[in-house]
Copies of this chain bind each other. A is one copy, B any other.
Amino acid sequence: MTIKAIAFDAYGTLLDVYSVGALAEKLFPGKGAAIAITWRDKQIEYTRLRTMCDRFVDFWQVTGDALDYACDAQGVDLTADARTALMAEYEELTAFAENHAALTRLQDAGMPMAVLTNGSAGMIAAALKAAKLAGFFDHVLSVDSVQKFKTAPEVYQMGPDAFGCAASEILFVSSNCWDICGATWFGYHTIWLNRYDQPMERLGVEPSARGKTLTDVADYLLG
């Protein structure tokens, strides 16, 4: 294989969204885990429904809508202060522990790198800055540019367009298996980081490679 560049998913792959659930549990004891799960599920569901129906609004709006649904579903009263605090978590996520070292190895090897995310331009810029990751990336590609969310082909096309090479020459990295399936269908070389030991999605498509953390990405490319 010839890999000329890397495109990383952001949420769950570079950025740990665990803190969101932790704050939800602190605010709504006993219901935080359920709220966090529904919040994430609805966030993703809304991106897909809006994309299929050509009703794009940005990820910040979708994330807030999903939070409102999750709290309604759990029967909790979401105050304006709690809403602001939970949404703010999305701009202050921490990087996974191994990321800095792994990204440094890849950068030192001269590998061009991008983030390719459902996040809005504002959200992802704030989150990368807060996590001290911004300096690693040549491109930060937000779906804002194409007004569709993953797994629309127009989103994945941003990678080849930014790097000026074929999708098959770009390693696409995500911990979200559905994202890996979409990227593999599109034509990327893919590595699924199965951080939480989840089953492979049954979509008739397999990633090019598998790993668990970003260290596995550096090992895969650099040996």
- A65/B203 in contact, CB under 8 A: yes
Q: Is A201 an interface residue (CB 8 A)?
A: yes
- B204/A69 in contact, CB under 8 A: no
Shortest Cβ gap from A209 to chain B (Å): 20
Q: Is A1 an interface residue (CB 8 A)?
A: no
- B152/A202 in contact, CB under 8 A: no
Q: Is A146 an interface residue (CB 8 A)?
A: no
Integer count of this chain's copies in the complex:
2
Query: How many angstroms between the C-alpha atoms of A53 and B48 in the bound complex?
Result: 11
- B66/A182 in contact, CB under 8 A: no
Chain B hits for A66, CB < 8 A: 202
Contact with B along A27-56 (1 / 0, CB 8 A): 000000000000001100110111111110
Residues 162 to 196 of chain A near chain B (Cβ within 8 Å): 178, 181-182, 185-186
Chain B hits for A53, CB < 8 A: 151-153, 181-182, 185-186
Q: Is A198 an interface residue (CB 8 A)?
A: yes
Chain B hits for A55, CB < 8 A: 185, 203-204
Q: Is A57 an interface residue (CB 8 A)?
A: yes
Chain B hits for A46, CB < 8 A: 201-203
Chain B hits for A41, CB < 8 A: 41
Known: A55-B185, A185-B55. A49 touches B202 (CB 8 A): no
Known: A51-B52, A204-B57. A69 touches B199 (CB 8 A): yes
Known: A52-B48, A52-B51, A182-B49. A69 touches B153 (CB 8 A): no
Q: Is A77 an interface residue (CB 8 A)?
A: no
Given contacts A53-B186, A65-B204, A69-B202, 4 further A-B contacts (CB under 8 A): A41-B41, A53-B152, A68-B202, A72-B200
Instruction: List 9 contacting pairs A-B, 8 Å CB cutoff, sorted by A.
Output: A48-B49, A51-B52, A52-B152, A53-B185, A55-B203, A57-B204, A65-B203, A69-B201, A72-B199
Binding site for B on A (CB under 8 A): 41-42, 45-46, 48-55, 57, 65-66, 68-69, 72-73, 151-153, 178, 181-182, 185-186, 198-204
